[in-house]
Amino acid sequence: MPPILTPPPVPLHPQMQLDPSAPVRAPGAVLREDYLRPLAWKTRGLAQRSGIPVWHLRSIMQGAPLYAEEAFRLGAALGTSPFYWLALQARYDLLRIERSRRQHSWARPARGDS
């Protein structure tokens, strides 16, 4: 693996946004397509490196949500930030909620509200 370059810290801001032009993918899809396949790793190998059970990694790659513990372990095993994995999950969740919101009246602002 090439050396891992650490980017400078990004200040956390209440209006923080991610690049809207970047495709939104579930963390499990990112894990499979951007890490396991290019590194030619099997799920079992990642399970050994991360301490996350194989069955749990498979469920994440099939769309189950990822939480802080898994984010921490994936970060350590793959040389990424745990925040990266949590941001992927949050962005994916927010997009799903936004799509659902468009279909339900409970999420629309009341008249006169913005």
In a domain, 13, yes or no: no
- Tell me the average pLDDT across 97-108: 74
pTM: 0.78
3-state secondary structure the chain: CCCCCCCCCCCCCCCCCCCCCCCCCCHHHHHHHHHHHHHCCCHHHHHHHHCCCHHHHHHHHCCCCCCHHHHHHHHHHHCCCHHHHHHHHHHHHHHHHHHHHHHCHHHCCCCCCC
> Residue 109 — very low, low, confident or very high, per pLDDT cuts 50/70/90?
low
Res 101: pLDDT: 82
Residues of the domain holding 33: 27-100
How many domains does the chain contain in total? 1
In a domain, 58, yes or no: yes
Question: Which CATH number do you get for residue 68?
Answer: 1.10.260.40
Res 67: pLDDT: 96
In a domain, 17, yes or no: no
In a domain, 8, yes or no: no
In a domain, 71, yes or no: yes
In a domain, 48, yes or no: yes
- Tell me the average pLDDT across 67-75: 97
In a domain, 49, yes or no: yes
In a domain, 44, yes or no: yes
